[in-house]
Amino acid sequence: MLVLWFIGIILGISVRGIDLTTLPEDIYYPSNNWSDTFDWKIFKEVSSDFRNTLISPISIKIVLALLYEGSSGVTKREFENVLQFTDKADVQEQYRDILNKLQATETSEYVLNMGTRIFLDTPIEPKQKFASIAQDSFKADIVPTNFSYSPDASQTINSWVEKLTNGKISKLVDTGDLQDAIMVIANAVYFRGSWRYQFPRDQTQLGKFYVPDANGFLTINTPFMSTNNKFYFLESPTLDAKIIRLPYKGGRYSMFILLPNSKGGLPMLMKSLSLHNLKNLLYLMDLRLVHVQLPKFKFDYQVRLSKPLQDFGLLQMFQNTASFPGIARGNSSLLRKLVVSDIIQKSGIEIDEEGSVVYAASEITVGNKFGEPQSSFHANHPFMFYIEEELTGTILFVGKCENPLEEDPASLAPRPTE
């Protein structure tokens, strides 16, 4: 049985008191290769209920692309249909380019840890070609693992995940999760960034946030961060929503927030959202002075992805007719068990106005140098957001916030019955 686990972690942090006159001009233009249809399709599929949601599309796609490399026949064609893959050489080049650019430089202004490991049962040997492609194109190491003794196997996987996510996820798998496993593919993403423009701590105040429930909406008191600054902004009649870009220091990462004009407008916004209409709107954003009020929020999320992926058309990899001849060699009876049992993603996010200790020495308080705000962005009802790496147009994370005070992890949905 092939078991897939992968996680996305993001910690978003702002820095107090940056002197805006010392910053270079903030310029944004959408990447030519911005996002793809799968990012938004999978997000909408897992976001149908009233709860906070967070997924990492790039994590999902890296794992699926690795499986595609080892697939053949109908299994291979399903990957090509669902993920719009053309051939394996193109996919290798695409992900090699993305990962090289994502991890090209070290900087003190943000932290991006991204890693993939293939934990393969010791009786099985990876095929040399697959191991080479996994390392070269996907930065994925293959680690021989004795799954017959699950306590040690789970410790090996959990220790790697804990280190890569800076302790944010210390337990990805239990010993029971690895029963009958012969391969585990784990992908982890950790991002910590500091806001380019400040949310002064002394401006944070309690305010009302409208939370959906069975009877409509109820209001909760939650801390709202506040700032007046120049941001790329758009009021879109097409989506009946406002869009704002909140850049991080370093000039490569930004959070985009889509706020419906009505407090109950998020379901309709998500229904009408597509790669095409959102990308077109990004070209229309312009730099203007905006008064931003954003709730502090922090939550964890986990989801099983086998059902939505099967609904999309990825059926064979979950069935005993799955074909992955390119991955490994060894015991033929074991290789016939190379069937995906489930795909689970765990993720978490924390958004606040605090600076990290790295930037403590540069904290200075500045006032509003731009006069009165031209526009208002008051996120006091459910909204959606995504984190983008702007050089490649890669969507690291996409999510929605229905309740900024809800921190408990969402329960895993039950496995679909056979």
* Local confidence band at 105 (pLDDT 50, 70, 90 cut-offs): low
For domain 197-295+363-401, give the CATH superfamily.
Answer: Alpha-1-antitrypsin, domain 1 (2.30.39.10)
pLDDT digits (tens, 9 = 90+) for 190-208: 888 889 887 888 899 999 9
Return the residue matching tokens 């029971």: 176
pLDDT at residue 15 is higher than 70: no
Single-letter code of the amino acid located at 120: L
Answer with the residue of higher pLDDT: 4 or 118: 118
| CB of 37 closer than 8 Å to CB of 218 | no
What number is the average pLDDT over the span 276-282? 93
What number is the average pLDDT over the span 96-107? 80
* Local confidence band at 182 (pLDDT 50, 70, 90 cut-offs): confident
Find all residues with CB under 8 Å of 385, minimum gap 6, and list them.
Answer: 255, 256, 257, 258, 398, 399, 400, 401
Please, where in the chain does CATH 3.30.497.10 lie? 2-194+299-349
pLDDT at residue 68 is higher than 70: yes
| CB of 118 closer than 8 Å to CB of 183 | yes
* Local confidence band at 187 (pLDDT 50, 70, 90 cut-offs): confident
* Local confidence band at 23 (pLDDT 50, 70, 90 cut-offs): low
State the average pLDDT for the chain.
Answer: 83
Q: What are phi and psi of 223, to 5 degrees?
A: -70, 130
Find all residues with CB under 8 Å of 93, minimum gap 6, and list them.
Answer: 137
pLDDT at residue 85 is higher than 50: yes
- The percentage of the chain sitting over the pLDDT mark of 90, rounded to a whole number, equals 47
Q: Which residues are paired to 58 by β-bridges?
A: none
Please, where in the chain does CATH 2.30.39.10 lie? 197-295+363-401
* Local confidence band at 50 (pLDDT 50, 70, 90 cut-offs): low
* Local confidence band at 106 (pLDDT 50, 70, 90 cut-offs): low
| CB of 295 closer than 8 Å to CB of 404 | yes
pLDDT at residue 81 is higher than 60: yes
Answer with the residue of higher pLDDT: 102 or 133: 133
Answer with the residue of higher pLDDT: 215 or 226: 226
Answer with the residue of higher pLDDT: 166 or 108: 166
What secondary structure letter does DSSP report for 248?
B
pLDDT digits (tens, 9 = 90+) for 293-318: 999 988 888 888 889 999 999 999 88
* Local confidence band at 257 (pLDDT 50, 70, 90 cut-offs): very high
* Local confidence band at 224 (pLDDT 50, 70, 90 cut-offs): very high
Instruction: Sort 355 into a burial class: Cβ within 10 Å, 0-12 / 13-18 / 19+.
Output: buried
The whole model's pTM is what?
Answer: 0.87
* Local confidence band at 97 (pLDDT 50, 70, 90 cut-offs): very high
What number is the average pLDDT over the span 61-79? 94
Query: What is the distance between the alpha carbons of residues 264 and 210, in angstroms, rounded to a whole number?
Result: 9
Q: What are phi and psi of 325, to 5 degrees?
A: -70, -15
Helix and strand counts by DSSP (H, E) for the chain? 10, 17
pLDDT digits (tens, 9 = 90+) for 331-383: 777 677 788 877 878 888 888 774 322 212 122 222 333 445 579 999 999 99
Single-letter code of the amino acid located at 319: Q
Which of 208, 228, 205 has its CA nearest to residue 218? Answer: 208
Q: Could you tell me the two tokens for 415?
A: 């496995």
What is the per-residue pLDDT for 104?
62
- The percentage of the chain sitting over the pLDDT mark of 70, rounded to a whole number, equals 85
Q: Which helix (DSSP H) or strand (DSSP E) does residue 182 occupy?
A: none
Query: What is the distance between the alpha carbons of residues 240 and 259, in angstroms, rounded to a whole number?
Result: 9
Neighbours of 274 (CB within 10 A): 13
CA 100 to chain centre: 18
Tell me which of 3.20.20.70, 3.30.497.10, 3.40.120.10, 1.10.10.10 is the CATH number of domain 2-194+299-349: 3.30.497.10
What is the per-residue pLDDT for 395?
93
Alpha carbon of 354 to those of 12, 200, 323: distances in Å? 9, 8, 49
Which of 244, 241, 285 has its CA nearest to residue 267? Answer: 241
β-bridge pairing 286-295 and 2-14: unpaired
Which of 299, 310, 275, 400 has its CA nearest to residue 351? Answer: 299
Q: Which helix (DSSP H) or strand (DSSP E) does residue 303 occupy?
A: strand 297-304
| CB of 18 closer than 8 Å to CB of 203 | no
pLDDT at residue 113 is higher than 70: yes
β-bridge pairing 375-378 and 241-247: unpaired
Alpha carbon of 316 to those of 78, 107, 183: distances in Å? 8, 42, 17
